[in-house]
Amino acid sequence: MLTDLQIWLAILGLVVVVFATRNVFMVLPSSVRPRGGFERALRHAPVAALVALTVPPAAGGLLEAGWDPAAVWHDGRMPAALVTVAVSRLAGSPFPGLAAGVALLLTLGGTA
């Protein structure tokens, strides 16, 4: 069991790592900043993260249901994944989609 101090240190460490990795390109000199294909690929990182968060649980629900369509839709994970993708696409940002997907998943009583 972790102590409260260890939990807070872990959270602080994650914040530092995420902040550093997301902002490293802004503090680097322009001569070493990404260009071309790599720069264009970085624009797809939020969508890739969204897919990585939504597809495995939805696919897990499909596999657990034994490919029974009624059980897949009753579980809540597949509808939440579809709503997440649709809202993210319409909003142009992954954050509203994640909020809508989580809200639907909690409303339907699905497992995360």
Both 54 and 9 in one domain: the answer is no
The domain in which residue 91 lies consists of 44-112
Q: In this predicted model, what pLDDT tens digit does every residue of 62-109 receive, in sequence order?
A: 666 666 667 667 777 888 888 988 998 899 888 898 899 889 888 887
Count of CB atoms within 10 A of residue 46's CB?
Answer: 14
Written as one letter, the residue type at 3 is: T
Q: Global pTM?
A: 0.52
Across residues 1-12, what is the average pLDDT? Answer: 91
Both 67 and 108 in one domain: the answer is yes
Both 103 and 48 in one domain: the answer is yes
Whether the CB-CB separation of 79 and 108 falls below 8 Å is answered with yes
Both 55 and 101 in one domain: the answer is yes
Residue 112 has pLDDT above 60, yes or no: no
Output 48-51 pairs: Cβ under 8 A, ≥24 positions apart: 49/94, 50/84, 50/85, 50/88, 50/94, 50/97, 50/98
